[in-house]
Amino acid sequence: MTAAEISAMQPKGVILSGGPKSVYADVAPRIDQELFATGIPILGICYGAQLLTAQLGGTVARTGRGEYGRTPLTLTAATPLFADRPSVSDVWMSHADSIVAAPDGFTVTAQSPDAPVAALEDRDRKIFGVQFHPEVAHTVRGQEVLEHFLYDACGCLPSWTHTSIIETAVEEIRAQVGDERVLCALSGGVDSAVAAALVHKAVGDQLTCVFVDTGLMRASEGEQVEQAFRRQFHVDLVHVKAADRFFSVLDGVTDPEAKRKAIGETFIRVFEEEAGRIEGARFLVQGTLYPDVIESGTKEAARIKSHHNVGGLPDDMRFDLVEPLHLLFKDEVRAVGEELGLPVELVWRQPFPGPGLAVRIVGEVTPERAEILRGADSIVVEEIKRAGLYHDLWQSFAVLLAVRSVGVMGDERTYAYPIVIRAVTSDDAMTADWARLPYDLLETMSSRIINEVPGVNRVAFDVTSKPPGTIEWE
């Protein structure tokens, strides 16, 4: 867009987001230079900060010392953006290039060990830049940085509430669906449950929920879904047992993206068959969240994984999608779920990926390997709950690897698979930190898994944050 087009929209401010490119790449996104002269407040984050630096005559360089994850930020000058902020605090970084010199007229307001210019501003022109990510939960008081920009620099007012989200969603669903029949892909997880509840609130018994048992669910998940939705909510629920079909399309498939595509496509075919049995079903509800949309690659964001709910869908799919959660983050979905009166244990269940255990089985997905992982996973969840940590963790689960290692059990040599325990804290899944689980708990999980799950002879604990890792292994 040109600066004139942006000005014509009369924005209160402009946020230049982070992005995967280097400002010096041939196809790096740039902004119309005139924008800087419009007087519209601008906040550049990460790539956005580097871009405004480069375009205004400062220097961005590949210093060979990027920063990833938790990083101490030291304030170097007073600024309204950091009002009341401690002089040293942790922020979340994710950058390879660094700003090494601010443009003329700018003040450097913070630095970090490997970013000499971690924040800068030209207060007169209301142009601000931060190298760190104020929008992620692991940045201490990051939200306040955004609030200061929005309320103080831009003059915005906070008027968005969970009740207003529900009212808006209900109106949009009614407008989209009219009096047609709707199917909902119910997985038992919080996203599909909240999506179903919203659609039910909007169109009542026009809704039929379908639960596809893919054979890739967690232990006893099928029964839990039946109990909650059929008995408690009296939802019209169709339970499709399709494990054989999923394992047969996954036969020999080891590439993570190929797995996701195969599962997404099979999933939707099963739905189409169910729809054929339900007179006139034209719409399909999906619990797609905003992070799923971003991480599947918008025009500019790099593709990290094609999420099952988005990239995995075949092009010739004959449903129109209803995605009432597609602009929400997980914490907002939970708040909406509580507001709608869903049971607390359901609303606070840890997230589970659409492709299920398949993306936690590195290598080939077979019924036998799924059974190994299911056994290990239920022990992890059980022990985490027993330790009272389930609700403090964003996710805690087991991963099954494809390599085998040598061990010794009962004087016998073993040659079996390792299980990796993954436990992370997060608020929105965009970033995550590995959870510092007590050693005793790790030991209990490790010995129970090896003793109780045939085919496993070793347990490892994943100590990687996101970034650079992702939460799931595939």
**Helix (H), strand (E) at residue 414:** strand 412-425
Applying CB under 6 A, the span of 20-28, 36-44, 235-243, 346-354 interacting with ligand XMP comes to 346-354
Question: Which residue shows structure tokens 């689960």?
Answer: 397
Contact between 349 and ligand XMP by CB under 6 A: the answer reads no
Q: Which residues contact 459 (CB under 8 A, 6 or more apart)?
A: 418, 419, 420, 421, 445, 446, 449, 450
Tokens standing for residue 32: 């119309």
211 three-class SS: strand
Contact between 354 and ligand XMP by CB under 6 A: the answer reads yes
CA 153 – CA 66 distance, rounded (Å): 30
Applying CB under 6 A, the span of 105-113, 245-253, 352-360, 440-448 interacting with ligand XMP comes to 352-360
- Nearest one of 211, 209, 318 to 269, comparing CA atoms: 318
Applying CB under 6 A, the span of 23-31, 142-150, 354-362, 403-411 interacting with ligand XMP comes to 354-362
What is the closest distance, in whole angstroms, from the C-beta atom of residue 159 to ligand XMP in the complex? 29
Please return the burial class of 422, using the count of CB atoms within 10 Å of its CB with bins 0-12, 13-18 and 19+.
buried
Question: Which residue shows structure tokens 């996973």?
Answer: 377
Please return the burial class of 263, using the count of CB atoms within 10 Å of its CB with bins 0-12, 13-18 and 19+.
buried
Nearer to ligand XMP, 119 or 432 (CB): 432
Residue 82 is classified by DSSP as G
Nearer to ligand XMP, 351 or 407 (CB): 351
Q: Is 46 a catalytic residue?
A: yes
Contact between 356 and ligand XMP by CB under 6 A: the answer reads no
Identified catalytic residue from 135, 323, 472, 474: 135
CA 21 – CA 27 distance, rounded (Å): 8
Please return the burial class of 461, using the count of CB atoms within 10 Å of its CB with bins 0-12, 13-18 and 19+.
middle
Q: Is 135 a catalytic residue?
A: yes
Nearer to ligand XMP, 50 or 426 (CB): 426
φ and ψ of 446, to 5 deg = -60, -50
What is the closest distance, in whole angstroms, from the C-beta atom of residue 174 to ligand XMP in the complex? 25
Contact between 309 and ligand XMP by CB under 6 A: the answer reads yes
What is the closest distance, in whole angstroms, from the C-beta atom of residue 22 to ligand XMP in the complex? 23
Tokens standing for residue 78: 């007073």
| Interface residue with ligand XMP, options 176, 224, 254, 470 (CB under 6 A) | 470
Binding string, residues 358-377; x marks residues near ligand XMP by CB under 6 A? -x------------------
Binding string, residues 421-440; x marks residues near ligand XMP by CB under 6 A? --------x-----------
Identified catalytic residue from 95, 133, 138, 308: 133
φ and ψ of 237, to 5 deg = -115, 125
What is the closest distance, in whole angstroms, from the C-beta atom of residue 473 to ligand XMP in the complex? 8
What is the closest distance, in whole angstroms, from the C-beta atom of residue 329 to ligand XMP in the complex? 11
Contact between 138 and ligand XMP by CB under 6 A: the answer reads no
List, in sequence order, the alpha helices (H) in 409-462: 439-452
| Interface residue with ligand XMP, options 188, 355, 375, 418 (CB under 6 A) | 355
Task: Order the strands of the 127-130 sheet from edge to edge.
Answer: 14-16, 42-45, 127-130, 115-122, 107-112, 67-75, 88-95
**Helix (H), strand (E) at residue 260:** helix 256-277
Contact between 466 and ligand XMP by CB under 6 A: the answer reads yes
Q: Is 171 a catalytic residue?
A: no
What is the closest distance, in whole angstroms, from the C-beta atom of residue 346 to ligand XMP in the complex? 16
Contact between 465 and ligand XMP by CB under 6 A: the answer reads no
Q: Which residues contact 212 (CB under 8 A, 6 or more apart)?
A: 185, 240, 242, 267, 270, 271
Residue 56 is classified by DSSP as T
Contact between 305 and ligand XMP by CB under 6 A: the answer reads yes
239 three-class SS: strand
Contact between 353 and ligand XMP by CB under 6 A: the answer reads yes
Contact between 307 and ligand XMP by CB under 6 A: the answer reads yes
Interface ranges with ligand XMP (CB under 6 A): 292, 295, 305, 307-309, 351, 353-355, 359, 395, 429, 466, 470-472
Residues carrying an active site annotation? 46, 133, 135
